[in-house]
Chain A
Amino acid sequence: MDSGASRLETAYLRETPAPTLPPPALSSGALGWTRKNLFSGPISSVFTLLTIAFAAWTLPGLVRYFILDAVWRADDGAACRAPGAGACWAYIGQKFPFFMYGSYPREWVWRVDVTFVVGAALIVWLLAPKLRGKQVAAFLFFVAFPVLGFVLLSGWEAVGLPKVGTDLWGGVLVSLVVSAVGIVVSLPGGVLLAMGRRSRLPMVRMASVVFIEVVRGVPLITVLFMANFMLPLFVPDNWSPDRLVRPLIGVSLFASAYMAEVVRGGLQAMPKGQFEGAMALGLGYGRMMRLVVLPQALTKVIPGIVNTFIGLFKDTTLVAIVGIYDFLRTVDTARLDPLWAGPSISTTGYVFAAMFYFIFCFGMSRYSQYMERELSKDRQR
């Protein structure tokens, strides 16, 4: 220590300014990248080699089964039953309308298609940051679209659309209706419950806590059963909710309780100063929450919110328990068609179902990551 100190000059004066230099160039090019990222040391090299070996072992078989040996065109299961045949995509093609619409009358499926297209367009409008007029989009999506969807899907004789009972609905249609309603209800529901749980009013706080803990404390299946069998007991006979509405209510309540805890985490993370700054300006409670607190709190918990959405989306498969033909159940049912019976049918069907769920969930996840980046871009602290 002594020798280090003695090397320091006591008096120092810089005479020439230190030059401003560009950063040193790192080893670049494909080879440089490979070395730096894949073979930077013995452990990293072993992992890289193991990964390559695993891929070499599994990929060829998968490619052969699902692409090269797959049956793409056939009118029945004969071709798929042939020895050495791979996945039976022809079967998916033939059953596709059933997977999409369930038993919805074929002459009216355009109504479902229109609903899908309008809904998808509005969602893009709502979610793409570059598109303007979010308030119009929000009004159309949250107010006009549900009405339009209801009229189109379930029918209205007065405008020439015959009624289609929900017992005929099925497949992707039902899965999307259940998840869309669940998602749209659970966010505001969760926000209200989270605020209730932090309320100063003891009754409001207690009601919120009891609701959240009870709903979170039982499996979704139980909530669905309760919604299915108990809801009708509480209302007069002719008011008894539709058989599809009951699980909708169950799923919405369930998702709201989970969402409430996610939102509460965000509220908890807000610095006290934000509340005080807003209050000192005379913004009342409602405006403080809406304009200052929630926008920040919800942004903080986007990963948790999307996580809940993804969980909800996959949980919609449980509505099958109370007799609703969601997408997975249509896949499960179609499998039993004797015309197509064969060794590859189940595998193909379930892989198709997995792909469907994966695409939606992965899409949500990617979008949330994109939004997090967008939102933090120019607000870096």
Chain B
Amino acid sequence: MADAAASATADTAVELAGVNKWYGKFHVLRDINLTVGRGEKIVICGPSGSGKSTMIRCVNRLEEHQSGRIVVNGIELTSDLKRIDEIRRDVGMVFQSFNLFPHLTILENCVLAPVWVRNMPRKEAEELAMKYLTRVRIPEQAGKYPGQLSGGQQQRVAIARALCMNPKIMLFDEPTSALDPEMVKEVLDTMVSLAAEGMTMLCVTHEMGFARQVADRVVFMDAGEIVEANAPAEFFANPRHERTRAFLGQILH
């Protein structure tokens, strides 16, 4: 049975099937069904409070779902802590508020998880970190502390830090929402280049230009449910659900 499940999900990176979640009595996720293929880029949008963050945080178990199935990289999420750690090793996450560790330098931020979670020798981890810091184009900041960097730089460090774990899937929760306008592009450029390399990505974002450019599918959520999902060209040209149209009308002018 395990074999059958594995083969069925060989090309599936993330599968959410009939997922429900409540905060107390508040039904925050309702019957979520979403299958993300390997290498696929999903952009998730929707009004504030519609459950976008909650949904992607369920994928790496920062939030617990109460019914339904979530399978990540062929491993089903249960309360088994070993499996949760196994999944988190392979799923990188970038937050709206960066969440860098302010008491560690940029390099130490990047080296921490490879050394302590992957048991990588420090030297090797530092080389890896420098490789990714170069990729996000801030190797010269390696010795500074997060507080000394601009928001855009911090967010790029956060991406590099996640990449240092060689994740198979990347989750982005509104990575550019806390940034000053002139810094949004540098972060989006990094994400575009990551997408070009074939990373599986689930991005909560309202950057519709980014969605048009890289998304394979755009998912629209409202009030805890997935209302509509479609390829970006179709999604923007012919939104089918009335709520989608209303939302797009508000954010595209």
Interface residues of A (CB under 8 A from B): 271, 273-274, 276-284, 287, 291-292, 295-296, 299, 378-381
B99 in the interface (beta carbon within 8 A):
yes
The answer to whether B117 touches A282, judged by C-beta atoms less than 8 angstroms apart, is: yes
The answer to whether B113 touches A279, judged by C-beta atoms less than 8 angstroms apart, is: no
Q: How far is the CB of B31 from chain A (nearest CB, A)?
A: 26
The answer to whether A379 touches B147, judged by C-beta atoms less than 8 angstroms apart, is: yes
Q: How far is the CB of A280 from chain B (nearest CB, A)?
A: 4
Please report the C-alpha to C-alpha distance between residue A277 and residue B91 in the assembled complex, in whole angstroms. Answer: 12
Q: How many chain B residues have a CB neighbour from A under 8 Å?
A: 27
Please report the C-alpha to C-alpha distance between residue A276 and residue B53 in the assembled complex, in whole angstroms. Answer: 13
The answer to whether B97 touches A280, judged by C-beta atoms less than 8 angstroms apart, is: no
Q: CB-nearest residue of chain B relative to A284?
A: B85
Interface residues of B (CB under 8 A from A): 60, 62, 81, 85, 88-89, 91-93, 95, 97-103, 112-113, 116-117, 145, 147-148, 161-162, 165
The answer to whether A282 touches B113, judged by C-beta atoms less than 8 angstroms apart, is: yes
Known A282-B85, A379-B147; contact A276-B116, beta-carbon cutoff 8 A: no
The answer to whether B88 touches A296, judged by C-beta atoms less than 8 angstroms apart, is: no
Please report the C-alpha to C-alpha distance between residue A277 and residue B110 in the assembled complex, in whole angstroms. Answer: 12
Q: Kindly list the 9 A-B residue pairs having the minimum CB-CB distance in the complex, ordered from nearest.
A: A277-B99, A282-B88, A280-B93, A281-B113, A273-B99, A381-B147, A282-B89, A282-B117, A379-B145
Given A273-B99, A277-B95, 10 other A-B residues pairs in contact with their CB atoms under 8 A: A273-B98, A277-B99, A280-B62, A280-B99, A281-B162, A283-B112, A291-B112, A292-B112, A380-B147, A381-B102
The answer to whether B113 touches A283, judged by C-beta atoms less than 8 angstroms apart, is: yes
Q: How far is the CB of B55 from chain A (nearest CB, A)?
A: 15
The answer to whether B99 touches A276, judged by C-beta atoms less than 8 angstroms apart, is: yes
In the complex, 11 of the A-B residue pairs with CB atoms within 8 angstroms, ordered by the A residue number, are A271-B97, A276-B99, A280-B60, A280-B91, A280-B162, A282-B113, A295-B103, A299-B103, A379-B147, A380-B148, A381-B147
The answer to whether B102 touches A296, judged by C-beta atoms less than 8 angstroms apart, is: yes
Please report the C-alpha to C-alpha distance between residue A149 and residue B89 in the assembled complex, in whole angstroms. Answer: 45
Please report the C-alpha to C-alpha distance between residue A278 and residue B81 in the assembled complex, in whole angstroms. Answer: 15
Q: Chain B residues near A278 (CB, 8 Å)?
A: 101
The answer to whether A277 touches B102, judged by C-beta atoms less than 8 angstroms apart, is: no
Known A282-B88, A291-B116; contact A274-B101, beta-carbon cutoff 8 A: yes
Q: Chain A residues near B112 (CB, 8 Å)?
A: 281, 283, 291-292
Q: Chain A residues near B91 (CB, 8 Å)?
A: 280
The answer to whether A292 touches B89, judged by C-beta atoms less than 8 angstroms apart, is: no
The answer to whether B165 touches A296, judged by C-beta atoms less than 8 angstroms apart, is: no
Partner of B165, one of A281, A292, A299: A281
The answer to whether A281 touches B95, judged by C-beta atoms less than 8 angstroms apart, is: no
The answer to whether B97 touches A279, judged by C-beta atoms less than 8 angstroms apart, is: no
Please report the C-alpha to C-alpha distance between residue A380 and residue B95 in the assembled complex, in whole angstroms. Answer: 21
Q: Chain A residues near B85 (CB, 8 Å)?
A: 282, 284
Partner of A379, one of B97, B102, B113, B117: B102
Q: CB-nearest residue of chain B relative to A277?
A: B99
Please report the C-alpha to C-alpha distance between residue A271 and residue B81 in the assembled complex, in whole angstroms. Answer: 23
